[in-house]
Chain A
Amino acid sequence: MYRIGSGAGFSGDRIDAPQSVVAAIAAAGEGGAVIFETLGERTLALGQIAKRQDAARGYEPLLEDLLEPILSLCVSSGIVIVGNFGQANPPAAAAAIQALATRLGLGNLRIAVVSGDDLVGRIDLSQTERWDGDGRLPGIDGDVIAINAYLGAGAIADAIRAGAQVVVTGRVADPALALGPLVAHFNWSWDDLDRIAAGTLVGHLLECGAQVSGGFFADPGFKDVPGTADIGFPIAEVAADGSFVITKAKGTGGLVDLRTVKEQLLYEIHDPAAYLTPDVTLDITDVDLEQVGPDRVRVTGARGHAAPARLKATVSFYGDWLGEAEISYAGHNALARARLAITTINERVRMRAIPVRYRADIIGTVSAFDSDDGDFLADFADTPSGDYRVRFAFGGGSQREVERAVQEVNALYCCGPAGGGGVRQSVRPRVRTLSHMVPRALVETRFHFAGEQP
């Protein structure tokens, strides 16, 4: 049996989460792995921008905070750390981890750096097809910042077999973070597609951290979750045949049951018979789940088919500017005053011919569900009083024009409806992403140990 835990489900996750996971795996005394998924679609572009400003940056900003409390125990207990926290600069992340190890008195670690995801300069995007899930989104219309292919688990497994204690990657398919250590441990053949599928499913269920163990789940009175301030991140106990149990450390909050596992099983999966990853096409249509103890769910039945011929790559480029501004109206006739603020801004933007696209929401009526056209808000019945926050969002290619639009909201203080307060405003550049499908032949995946020649 091999234990893999999740230390982070996204960049910005709870930084103390890995501690109970590593403590539980260490206590079992058989080694294992802890994986960190900290790379959203945009994160690589933000890392790339940071790296251009400072060659020592561009990796996960919370890296040291995440690893400092667990690094010694991982090293002494034979727990391999695998993370895509290298983001746009895996070598710099590796150097930061070595510096941390030195500071902790751990000496020189075997830190592997996986490369090959960065395709800038290696690919002509006009020769590649777009990924169909982007639907009607407009094409690339800004300067390209980053192009990164989703790599498979091969180099991670090779690095661990070669003795890596830490594996630092940039973009890899999220489930590969778990599949790599499993292939290295069990010596599964890459042609044993059902085993590769099972390992991919382990990774899929772990990759979002607490989302399988009671996070993003609580709905009071319907789906109650104990200890939401201290949710235990998930641990998979994997058998050689690929079946596994999802559980969490004893004494932590959260829960693992059929409901939590089902919600995560289909999370961001489209066709359940064909979840495409670089290593395998995962089929979960015959998966069985069984509650085998408190906070223990056994997962069996993953099947694998041949991996897709092409890899997905995320292209990041400069998008438009986003301006947001909010103002509150409360008390008698508040909704009417909030609506008047919207029509006033409509008119101002039109009068001044400010070239922005925009929408307005009244938070407290309908906002998250509504469309840019305000379909739901139009039907929301007036109430005599309430406590509402009007939120305007403006998008445009010019920072100055977006700032002008935002400034109109600020001007509601003196010129708008009665009793408007609490204006907050921000204008920031956005990075857009689109996905393209790239031929495998263009992607060369490899690893090297930090301190050695790539």
Chain B
Amino acid sequence: MTASTQIVSLHRIAHGRSGDKGNRLNVNIIAFEARHWPVLEAEVTAERVAALFAYRGVTQVTRYELPRLGILNFVIEDALEGGVNSSLAVDTHGKCLSYLVLGLDVRVPVEPGEGQAAEPVLQTAR
């Protein structure tokens, strides 16, 4: 039987930080728990991150993996609309942008005894 899954926001299972250099943004995404590393690896792809930032005209997204520490590092080119010294944006550094990535939905396995509390609730209702 395949394990059941649920969709959660990446923010539930991971944390991260963004940093800028020039017009290049990097965002690291870190699994809170080692069991979610495969989810990050499978679901948080460079393609999805590129699609997420497409509206800002990014030219390239590279994903680096550090499996030992459960960290993905995304390097996002031309994401900063000119960067800290020429952007007109509110957040010229892009410091808020880790939370744009953490807003992605991901599919995670439901562990026995957690999540999908729907069944017991239905039983009581009946």
Contacts and interface: CB of A to CB of B under 8 A. Distances in A.
Interface of A: 41-42, 131, 133-137, 211, 216, 219, 222-223, 259, 262-273, 284-289, 319-320, 322, 357-359, 361, 363, 367-373, 375-376, 391, 393-395, 430-435
A9 to B, nearest CB: 13
Contacts of B68: 285-288
B36 interface: no
A361 B17 CA distance: 23
Nearest to B27: A266
Given A266-B73, A371-B55, A319 B85 contact: yes
A284 B13 CA distance: 23
B107 interface: no
B69 interface: yes
A430 to B, nearest CB: 6
B41 interface: no
9 contacts: A135-B59, A266-B28, A267-B19, A270-B26, A287-B69, A319-B85, A367-B90, A371-B55, A432-B86
A267 B20 CA distance: 9
A358 B96 CA distance: 21
Contacts of B11: 222
Listed residue (A289, A370, A394) with the most chain B CB atoms within 10 angstroms of its CB = A370
A372 B81 contact: yes
A142 to B, nearest CB: 11
B64 A272 contact: yes
Interface of B: 11, 15-17, 19-24, 26, 28, 30, 32, 55-57, 59, 62, 64, 66, 68-71, 73, 75, 77-78, 81-86, 88-91, 96-97, 100
Nearest to A288: B68
A270 B88 contact: no
Contacts of B62: 270-271
A137 B23 contact: yes
Contacts of B71: 262, 265-266
A430 B86 contact: yes
Given A135-B23, A267-B19, A271-B75, 11 more contacts: A133-B24, A133-B77, A136-B59, A137-B22, A266-B73, A267-B17, A363-B90, A371-B56, A376-B55, A393-B88, A433-B85
Nearest to A361: B90
B49 to A, nearest CB: 14
A450 to B, nearest CB: 32
Contacts of A273: 64
A57 B64 CA distance: 43
Listed residue (A41, A136, A263, A322) with the most chain B CB atoms within 10 angstroms of its CB = A263
Nearest to A367: B90
A270 B24 contact: yes
A368 B90 contact: yes
A268 B21 contact: yes
Nearest to B79: A135
A394 B22 CA distance: 21
B75 A262 contact: no
B22 A435 contact: yes
A361 B30 CA distance: 30
A358 B88 contact: yes
A133 B62 CA distance: 13
Nearest to A376: B55
A395 B17 contact: no
Contact of A359 (B17, B66, B89): B89
Contact of B17 (A263, A289, A391, A434): A263
A91 B119 CA distance: 72
A148 to B, nearest CB: 15
Given A371-B56, A432-B86, A266 B26 contact: yes
A268 B85 contact: no
A371 B32 CA distance: 30
B28 A259 contact: no
A263 B85 contact: no
Contact of A395 (B56, B78, B86): B86
Contacts of B56: 371
Contacts of B64: 270-273
B86 A135 contact: no
A135 B78 contact: yes
Contacts of B30: 259, 262-263
B85 A262 contact: no
A157 B20 CA distance: 29
A136 B86 contact: no
A319 B17 contact: no
Nearest to B83: A137
A372 B19 contact: no
A392 B73 CA distance: 33
A393 to B, nearest CB: 4
A374 to B, nearest CB: 10
A280 to B, nearest CB: 18
Given A41-B84, A263-B28, A272-B64, A135 B89 contact: no
Contacts of B22: 131, 133-135, 137, 434-435
Contacts of B96: 368-369
Given A266-B28, A369-B100, A435-B22, A322 B75 contact: no
Nearest to B19: A268
Contacts of A395: 86, 88
